[in-house]
Structures are given as structure tokens and as C-alpha cells.
Amino acid sequence: MTCEVHGPVSKRDSSFYGDFSWLLRPLGLDFIDDHFKETTKGLSWEGAIESIPTEVICEFLPQDVPYAAWGQPIGHCHAHVWWVIAK
């Protein structure tokens, strides 16, 4: 199953902040603890949930650097992602 979600991101000036706990917690996942792959386009994970092969891909605005754990001004924590758009 594939779905596109728009809306769990807030904006303040040129900074964006997304809360993805609504997606990750029910699946028992965590961006850091489950070693999501960090790229310049977002975060992804492949594995099994209750023996079902599962892929989670979270795509965001492409950046010059990867969305790294605790990175600033572009990064993520356990269930949140943040980035900026240069003015």
C-alpha cells in the first residue's frame, strides 16, 4: 500500500518542522533507534513488521546535506524532522 500525506508539517518564517510520531509509534518505529537511512531527500527504512515486509519512505524538500540525526538547521530526532528554505 502506498499513501501520500500532506499536512503534519508546521512552518515558521523559513523553518519547517514535521511531527511523524503518528506514523512511527503505531508501527513501533523510531527514526534514530531503527536506523532510518538518511539522504538529502528524506528518511527511509526497510524491514519486517509482524513478519510483513515493510518499507517506510519519508520524502521532504531536497537539501544540500542529508537529514542527519540532531543536525542543524536540517535534521531529525526520534519522530520529528526539520529543515529550512534559504531566502
pLDDT tens for each residue of 24-58: 999 999 999 999 999 999 999 999 999 999 999 99
The three three-digit cell numbers of residue 82, written as one number = 526539520
Average pLDDT of the chain to the nearest whole number: 91
> Which one of 7-21, 31-45, 73-87 scores highest in mean pLDDT?
31-45
Q: Is the peptide bond before 73 cis (omega within 30 degrees of 0)?
A: yes
pTM of the model: 0.88
Q: How far apart are CA 52 and CA 6, in angstroms?
A: 25
Residue type at 33?
D
Long-range contacts of 31-36 (CB under 8 A, 24+ apart): 31/69, 31/76, 31/77, 31/78, 31/79, 31/81, 32/69, 32/76, 32/77, 32/78, 33/78, 36/76
